[in-house]
Amino acid sequence: MSELDHAQTTRHISVTVNGTVYERDVLTRTHLGDFLRQELGLTGTHLGCEHGVCGACTIILDGQPIRSCLMLAVQANGATIRTIEGLAQADGTLHPVQEAFWDKHGLQCGFCTPGMVTTLAAVLEADPTLDETAIREAISGNICRCTGYETIVDAALQAASRMRGDH
Amino acid sequence: MKASAFAYHDPKTVQELNSLLGSLDNVRILAGGQSLMPMLNMRYAFPDHVIDINHIAGLAEVVMTPQGLRIGAMTRQRIVREHPLVLEHAPVLAEALHWVGHVQTRARGTIGGSLCHLDPAAEQPCIAALYDAVLHVSGPRGPRDVAMRDWVMSYMTPNLEPDEALLGLTLPVWSAQGQTIGHGFHEFARRHGDYAIVAAAALVSLDAGGVVRRASIALAGVDVKPVRLAVAEQALVGHVLDQALIGTVSAMAATIEMMEDAHITPAYRGRLAQTMTKRALSDALNRATGGRNV
Ligand code: FES
Ligand code: FES
């Protein structure tokens, strides 16, 4: 198009990310993953494919795991977001899913890990009774180049057990 | 990656949407974004205007009407899959959604988006064909309804003018006094969550004697649009549904003309169509005779 109206290519948004309210002017064409990484400096959210295939960019938006590369930042106006940086407590206590990834060697290079952990945190917080089949289904949209998935599933099962309060 | 520059619009009402559609050129409508966002990121699509319909009130409702189950275009796949009215009146839709994408994409993806994107192997258009759905379209010249059989114009092209938008669809769901309805949905894909190579959906309504009074079978992935197996449906009606009949009827699925691509031969598609139809009909039989009105 010849002339782009500034008001239509830039918007002011307010988002709550990991408990902090951020107000920013964003280019409307910026996707949410780029916004988190480049505008907010939250580089824990990884971008692998940027077309919705790998799951590395998963964040938790208003309680639901979503692919941050498949949403415009402007669409997150008013939303509450949790990223991998927001899962551990302020004192450094890890989320049960993070703890279990540590215990069970659920990562090697770590590229897929933010997406795996945010996905599993969201689904297990909603329902910690998920069995192995349901866990495999939950991470079916997250691709891991390294682990062969077995240790990730082991970690998820341990996290689920802890989150149920089994021990 | 960065999409090419576009002007962003977020109408709050259908009236605003209509007037934007009536006045702008080279527009893409952004619903759940699970197909459009990849196309924008990779610059396969480079619209001058993106109209985000996520803020229009009333486009994500699921209600029963005298015509059937009406589902708003912006209803997220996650919501459709768990909706009590869907589970009660059109459980085959919930079952098909199990195969659609992943937890992260179903959280954003919408039924209307799938019906406009129209991947030939997509599950939701297949269910719309199964039910002879009616699609509700809006534009500057007013609303109009389109039958599912007239919806797919060509490869990935819905029956929409450039200034029109899909607002929702109605599934004329089945019910009949003294009959039980069974459903089945099966597909084969290389990886879970991919579009199917071939998918089959089946609905049967059986009377107390197990005789088929009404049948519908739809296939996805065999042609550019979902295909109804009318001959097979006719072969079912009036007969007691059993495994022998299912075998005969499923074989008909392999005889239709199959599309071909670089990866899948028509013969293999035909084999899959037969097997998926058989599994879908077997599930439908089990459910109809299990005494549950599913
Ligand atoms: S970066 Fe979003 S799915 Fe791969
Ligand atoms: S740990 Fe390397 S991609 Fe998963």
- pLDDT tens-digit readout, B43-69: 999 999 999 999 999 999 999 999 999
pLDDT at B293: 37
Query: B143: closest CA among B41, B244, B73, B247?
Result: B73
Q: Which atom of ligand 2 is nearest to the CA of A108?
A: 1
Tens digits of per-residue pLDDT, B105-161?
999 999 999 999 999 999 999 999 999 999 999 998 999 999 999 999 999 999 999
Q: Measured between CB atoms, which of A29, A34, A70 is closest to B5?
A: A29
| Number of other residues whose CB lies within 10 A of the CB of residue A142 | 27
Cα–Cα distance, B72 to A100 (Å, whole number): 40
Asked whether A17 and A36 are in contact (CB, 8 A), the reply is yes
* Strand B157-158 relative to strand B144-147, pairing: unpaired
Nearest-CA distance A52 → chain B (Å): 7
Q: Is the pLDDT of residue B292 over 60?
A: no
Nearest-CA distance A67 → chain B (Å): 6
Residue A99 tokens, joined: 């703890």
Our CA angle for B75, B80, B83, nearest 5°, is 120
Q: Measured between CB atoms, which of A50, A71, A137 is closest to B33?
A: A71
pLDDT at B45: 95
Residue B238 tokens, joined: 């009036």
CATH 3.30.43.10: does it fit domain B7-52? Answer: yes
What are the residues facing B205 on neighbouring strands? B181, B214
Q: Is the pLDDT of residue B206 over 80?
A: yes
pLDDT at B237: 98
Q: How confident is the model at residue A3 (pLDDT cuts 50, 70, 90)?
A: low
Name the pTM for this structure.
0.95
**A69/B37 touch (CB, cutoff 8 Å), yes or no:** yes
Q: Measured between CB atoms, which of B6, B34, B103 is closest to A52?
A: B34
Query: B187: closest CA among B90, B255, B272?
Result: B272
Asked whether B108 and B79 are in contact (CB, 8 A), the reply is no
The domain spans of chain B are: 7-52, 62-171, 180-289
Tens digits of per-residue pLDDT, A78-135?
999 999 999 999 999 999 999 999 999 999 999 999 999 999 999 999 999 999 999 9
pLDDT, greater one: B258 or A2: B258
pLDDT at A56: 98
Q: How confident is the model at residue B85 (pLDDT cuts 50, 70, 90)?
A: very high
Protein residue closest via CA to atom 3 of ligand 1? A52
Q: Could you tell me which CATH number the domain at A3-86 has?
A: 3.10.20.30
Cα–Cα distance, A104 to A156 (Å, whole number): 9
Location of each CATH 1.10.150.120 domain in chain A: 96-164
End-to-end CA gap in chain B: 46
Cα–Cα distance, B86 to B83 (Å, whole number): 5
Q: Is the pLDDT of residue A12 over 70?
A: yes
Query: A32: closest CA among B79, B49, B3?
Result: B3
Indicate the fold that domain A96-164 takes in CATH.
DNA polymerase; domain 1 (1.10.150)
3-class DSSP state of A134: helix
Percent of chain A with pLDDT over 90: 94
pLDDT at A167: 66
pLDDT at A1: 47
The ligand minimizing its distance to the Cα of B193 is 1
* Strand A80-82 relative to strand B27-30, pairing: unpaired
- What is the DSSP track for A135-160? HHHHTTT---SSS-SHHHHHHHHHHH
Strands (DSSP E) found in chain B: 7-9, 27-30, 49-52, 62-65, 68-72, 134-138, 144-147, 152-154, 157-158, 165-171, 180-188, 198-206, 212-220, 227-228
Mean pLDDT, chain A, rounded, equals 96
Tens digits of per-residue pLDDT, B5-58?
999 999 999 999 999 999 999 999 999 999 999 999 999 999 999 999 999 999
pLDDT at B277: 98
Residue with tokens 């938008």: B165
Three-state SS annotation for A66-118: EEHHHCEHHHHCCCEEECHHHCCCCCCCCCHHHHHHHHHCCCCCCCCHHHHHH
pLDDT at B121: 94
Cα–Cα distance, B274 to B266 (Å, whole number): 12
Sign of the Cα pseudo-torsion (B157, B134, B110, A78, in order):
positive
What phi, psi does A20 have (nearest 5°)? -105, 135
Sign of the Cα pseudo-torsion (A120, B53, B75, B217, in order):
negative
Lowest mean pLDDT among A5-19, B84-98, B171-185: A5-19
Tallying the residues shown for chain B, one arrives at 294
CATH 3.30.465.10: does it fit domain B62-171? Answer: yes
Asked whether A49 and A111 are in contact (CB, 8 A), the reply is no
Ligand 1: centre distance to CA B8 (Å): 22
pLDDT at B2: 86
Asked whether A21 and A14 are in contact (CB, 8 A), the reply is yes
Cα–Cα distance, A152 to B56 (Å, whole number): 40
CATH 3.40.50.720: does it fit domain B180-289? Answer: no
pLDDT at B168: 98
- What is the DSSP track for B60-107? T-EEEETTEEEEETT-BHHHHHH-HHHHHH-HHHHHHHTTSS-HHHHT
pLDDT at B169: 98
Q: Left if phi > 0, otherwise alpha if psi is -120 to 50, otherwise beta: which for A34?
A: alpha
Partners of residue A74 in chain B, C-beta under 8 Å: 8, 10, 52
- DSSP structure class, residue A37: I
Q: Is the pLDDT of residue B233 over 80?
A: yes
Residue B215 tokens, joined: 């049948």
Does A64 contact B at CB distance below 8 Å? yes
Identity of the residue numbered B237: V
Mean pLDDT, chain B, rounded, equals 95
